[in-house]
Amino acid sequence: MIALAAGAAQFLHDQLCTTPGKELHRSWREGERGPRAFAIDYACLIHGLIDLYQASFEVKWLQWATALQTEMDALFLDPKHGGYYSVHTDMPNSVLRIKEDYDGAEPSPNSLAALNLVRLSALLAKDKWKKEAERIFALFGSTLQSSPSSVPVMAIAFDMHHRGKQQIVLAGDVGSDAFKALADYVQRRFLPTAVILCADGGVGQQWLATQNEVLAAMKSVNGQAAVYVCENFTCQAPVTTAEGLERVLGK
């Protein structure tokens, strides 16, 4: 399943963008790209790329997610009041630009963007994205208070932001049986306020360390795969067994 998801993501990267990975379009048919993407298209793809990184630990998907978030901010973000318009100014009929918040059959751009921003800030400790999420919560605060059932995805994002974000960092050789066992244990648990990172000792960790220097020091313990459980990047001592991880996560 991960291979299929990665193949789909690679197709979007190569074929649904004006240049690989940039200027997303919303459709493709017989070699031709359709119109430029809306805010919801960016938000959905970013959300999927974050999930794909946490499932595969291929850092290129997280790198693309951050690049798309930056592009989404440039195209759709209201820099004065916060929140995202559904269309950008270069689109036809963009005179009326609205900020959607209702989560119906699919989440609204602002709800999903808020969740993406919270998750990206948890993964990479980026204050700018944390602040943009907070501006969305402030903008739609009355709806969150009076009718949270109409914005369930935004409520999930607010809950994750308010309760504090947990980082679970798996360190070691991704291909080793010990690493796979620990990763499988973490990925099977319901951890609604957690994000998962990989410190592989290679180029992936090197890039992550440029985003958050705390990640540079995380490594295996005596050659064994290890897990660091952190709250807002304040980390406990690493554990190397599922039993030890259960004790830490169970606290």
- pLDDT over threshold 80, residue 222: yes
Banded pLDDT at 219 (limits 50, 70, 90): very high
Q: What is the pLDDT of residue 163?
A: 87
Check residue 125 and give its pLDDT.
84
What is residue 92's predicted lDDT score, i.e. its pLDDT?
64
Fold agreement (2-163, 166-249): no
What pLDDT was estimated at residue 77? Answer: 96
Superfamily of domain 166-249: Glutaredoxin (3.40.30.10)
Q: Provide the CB-side half-sphere exposure for 215 (13 A, CA).
A: 28
pLDDT at 116: 98
Q: For position 233, what pLDDT does the model report?
A: 82
Average pLDDT of the residues of the chain: 93
- Helix and strand numbers, DSSP H then E, in the chain: 10, 8
Residue 94 has pLDDT above 70, yes or no: no
The pLDDT confidence band at residue 97, using thresholds 50, 70 and 90, is confident
CATH topology of domain 2-163: Glycosyltransferase (1.50.10)
Q: The tokens of 29 are what?
A: 């048919």
Residue 227 sits at φ, ψ, to 5 deg, of -125, 130
Which strand (E) or helix (H) includes residue 18?
Answer: strand 17-19
Q: How far apart are CA 244 and CA 231, in angstroms?
A: 17
Q: Which residues of 182-200 are buried (b: 16+ CB within 10 A; e: fewer)?
A: bbebbeeeeeebbbbbbbb
Cα separation, 228 vs 245, whole angstroms: 9
Check: CB of residue 25 under 8 Å from CB of residue 36. Answer: yes
| pLDDT value at residue 1 | 87
pLDDT in tens, 131-148: 999 999 999 999 999 999
CA distances from 100 to 76, 85, 139 (A): 12, 7, 11
Any idea where the domains of the chain sit in the sequence? 2-163, 166-249
221 pairs with which residues across the strands? 224
